[in-house]
Copies of this chain bind each other. A is one copy, B any other.
């Protein structure tokens, strides 16, 4: 029952991901046709630099006028792999207006304007799919919004940035410092020349906003996500982590509050026990740990970036969207009915590992312990090391709110006997 009129696909962007999408559409044309129920045809490829040779793509399809391409009116699906906010936002909106469904890999845009884009898709009865926007090839958006649609998700915690995981893994396995590990990541092509978006957690924060929105059926804006980068993680932090049987990962954590009445989303480095499944995620791999009422603990693991893996996710969406076109249906749109409030970071409750440089004299521990007690932060363990009048004090707390911990640290800094707060790190996954 194969339909013979092909579905027409416009490809916006032909870089690392786009060229792989085009390549697979050509080499696997028969498979795609069989799986969709109709052939798919690359109807146009919008690029910025038309002079660059693009192997395997008919030059007649290449255009610099993306606007005209999405307005052609005969396009069934627009695949947007340009990235960034504009012109991607305008092009996607225009695609819906002109009758196309959209497959996008654009995490920044989805995190910032997902609600408006979903609304535009819904208004025109079209699909907006974006599996490739989070964790590359790992099937994650579809499992969250479809497989777990009958369950209640309580936590999504993941390594969603390959660059930072490569750097942290390198620091962990070799004892290297941050800069040395970053240099190696850059040399190997895992980090960009300007690594800010990765190492400062902006990329992971965009993904956290998308994941939290889907997991909790609540609109979570990028501004709602607390963000802390990993540029200040040191070799000493890894040594401390090892003493606790932990390693350090940059985590995106989306949580439903214990009372169910609010949610939080955050990105920061954290210690996690070596026994946690996320601890053994190596190199540039990504993995996302999901906890739900009925399913319990699930984990999804795979390559989080790269041309071919991202193209795999894009093409999976393309098949689904094309099947929907043929049947006249649409897939799940935005689900924000729960509309839970997003709480600020101060209300997040977790454990903390704090290293203090203190004077090596009697009574210091008592002073420090008093400050913790006054702020309602209960201490789990303390370890003292001292010599020559200098000492360090490592405190691991029980669960406490971020606000309480912040208050504690401010008060500690005011103690004469505390020379400095060497590091504060959250402890997750226990």
Interface residues, chain A, with chain B CB atoms under 8 Å away:
20, 24, 28, 31-32, 34-35, 131, 137-139, 142-143, 146-152, 217, 277, 280, 292-303, 306, 308-309, 311-320, 323-324, 327-330, 332, 335, 337-338
Contacts and interface: CB of A to CB of B under 8 A. Distances in A.
Contacts of A138: 298
A148 B302 CA distance: 13
Contacts of A308: 293-296
Contacts of A302: 295-299
24 contacts: A24-B151, A28-B152, A34-B335, A34-B338, A138-B298, A139-B142, A139-B298, A142-B142, A143-B147, A146-B146, A146-B319, A148-B316, A150-B311, A150-B316, A151-B315, A151-B316, A292-B312, A294-B315, A295-B303, A295-B312, A296-B306, A323-B332, A327-B327, A328-B328
Given A146-B320, A295-B312, A327-B329, 11 more contacts: A28-B152, A34-B338, A35-B332, A35-B337, A131-B147, A137-B295, A149-B320, A150-B315, A151-B315, A151-B316, A323-B332
A245 to B, nearest CB: 15
- The 5 closest A-B CB pairs, nearest first, are A150-B315, A329-B329, A139-B147, A137-B295, A139-B143
Contacts of A142: 139, 142-143, 146-147
B295 A28 contact: no
A263 to B, nearest CB: 15
A301 B301 contact: yes
Nearest to A319: B149
Contact of A309 (B20, B296, B316, B323): B296
Given A35-B335, A280-B277, A301-B301, A148 B312 contact: yes
Contact of A150 (B24, B149, B293, B306): B24
B137 A316 contact: no
